[in-house]
Amino acid sequence: MRTSAAGNKRCSGQARGFTLLELLVVVALIAVATAGVGFSLRDSADSALERDAERLAALLETGRAQARANGLPVVWRPVESAGNAGAQSFVFDGLPPPGLPSAWLAETTRATPGLAITLGPEPLIEPQSVALSSLQSPDKTLWVVSDGLRPFRVQNQRAPAERAP
């Protein structure tokens, strides 16, 4: 007669396999991992627009600082790309080389055409705002605004950033 090791209750006559609880735990882990991968790969038009808006706010502040440091007037404006029909980019007129980036992160991002934002060289500028939208979600608009004193920031309405009391 066969004997088993201490603590092992299996005998040669019992069926071997996984318990229902073990199978449920494995299925739950696979479901959580799949959901995590799905969310990490998702890049909606809204998140691309938000990234471009945050980046533009940072670039406008950089251009503003360079205008003040160099004592040069700097103007930001959107332009239609010549190489790609319908595509849009932007330029910082007045910055010395190498300048700042001039392309959107997402090809579908658009700014208000014909707009020009003066960034300096004066420390105080007029209140400025630029509307950004995406070709993929035209109903969503983000505004990059400054009241002229504070840094540029992203918000959901056109009004310049309110001053803190």
Query: What are the domain boundaries of the chain?
Result: 45-155
Residue range 146-159: mean pLDDT, rounded: 87
Q: What is the Cα Rg of the chain in Å?
A: 28
Q: Which CATH architecture has domain 45-155?
A: 3-Layer(bab) Sandwich (3.55)
For the full predicted model, state whether its pTM sits above 0.75.
no
Contact criterion met (CB below 8 Å) for 88 and 80: yes
Interatomic CA distance for residues 118 and 131, integer angstroms = 15
Q: Which two tokens stand for residue 73?
A: 């007037």
Facing residues of 4 across strands? Answer: none
Q: What is the pLDDT of residue 131?
A: 93
Residues whose CB falls within 8 Å of the CB of residue 145, separated by 6 or more in sequence, listed in order: 127, 128, 129, 130, 152, 153, 155, 158, 159, 160, 161
pLDDT, one tens digit per residue, over 24-83 is: 999 999 999 988 887 776 667 678 899 999 999 999 999 999 999 989 899 999 998 766
**Which has the higher per-residue pLDDT, 162 or 39?**
39
pLDDT at 152 over 80: yes
What pLDDT, on a 0 to 100 scale, did the predictor assign at position 78?
A: 93
Could you read off the pLDDT of 91-106 as tens digits, one per residue?
999 988 888 999 999 8
118-147: average pLDDT: 89
Q: Which of 43, 52, 157, 159 is nearest to 102 (CA)?
A: 52
The CA–CA distances, whole Å, from 80 to 39, 52, 86, 113, 137 equal 33, 17, 7, 9, 20
